[in-house]
Amino acid sequence: MIQLFQEPEKHVFHLVTDKLNFGAMNMWFLLNPPGKATIHVENVDEFKWLNSSYCPVLRQLESAAMKEFYFKADRPTTLSAGSSNLKYRNPKYLSMLNHLRFYLPEIYPKLDKILFLDDDIVVQKDLTGLWDVDLNGMVNGAVFTCGESFHRFDKYLNFSNPHIARNFDPNACGWAYGMNIFDLKQWKNKDITGIYHKWQTMVRLLTSP
């Protein structure tokens, strides 16, 4: 990927992993240096500020109910029986790495803009032009995905809940999470992390026994 950029010396690649893979990832880049670009690898387990006192989703991930949801013994035994739910019952979603995108301004407080790439993205061309995209005051620039029915909000959210029904359009579409350009100044101005916390707290209260 780095070889595709016209000015690699102007790029810093920030990678966040967990303690299990941190050593191996550092060693890989020592053995495979990125040329003129800079690689910065961090361990999410060293983010001491990211704890259950501050982060509502972390409290959910640590709960017995959440672990029961992903690992319960009576899940369907055949692919066809559970195919409609398999996507959402993948235990990888118990990892805080899947929620770090909501804390980018706190992880990188000195940055004004960041290009977020998921770990399964394959880059085939120079992405430098994305830095010049005018987001017109928006926080996120992403690929709009209405081609698949599961990207509609009514496939994600429970619209029988009045809080959901009042705040979201069931026919609205999500976006591709794999590659996003974020304006972190606007993120802070609009307190996106605070809004995320508000909804996570609400979900926790509504689903608590």
Whether pLDDT at 120 is above 80? yes
pLDDT at residue 64, rounded to an integer = 67
- Residue 25 pLDDT more than 90? yes
Confidence of residue 10 (pLDDT cuts 50, 70, 90): confident
Instruction: Look up the pTM and report it.
Output: 0.80
Strand, coil or helix: 197: helix
- The answer to whether 179 and 115 are in contact (CB under 8 A) is yes
Report the share of the chain in percent with pLDDT over 90. 38
At 202, the pLDDT band (50, 70, 90 cuts) reads confident
Residue 201 is predicted with a pLDDT of 86
Q: Is the pLDDT of residue 122 over 80?
A: yes
- Cβ-proximal residues to 146 (8 Å cutoff; 6+ apart), any chain: 152, 173
CA–CA gap between residue 59 and residue 206 (Å, rounded)? 14
Mean per-residue pLDDT over the chain, rounded = 82
Digit-coded pLDDT (tens) for 151-183: 788 887 888 888 889 998 988 887 878 899 999
- On the question of pLDDT at 22 being above 60, the answer is yes
- The position carrying tokens 């803009």 is 113
Secondary structure (DSSP) of 74-127: TS-SSHHHHHHHHGGG-GGGGSGGGGGGGGHHHHSTT-SEEEEE-TT----S--
In the chain, what is the straight-line distance between the N-terminal and C-terminal CA atoms, in Å?
Answer: 48
For residues 157 and 111, the answer to whether their CB atoms sit within 8 Å is no
Give the confidence band of 200 by pLDDT, cuts at 50, 70, 90. Answer: confident
- Domain positions in the chain are 1-46, 47-207
Least confident piece of the model among 1-15, 45-59, 93-107: 1-15
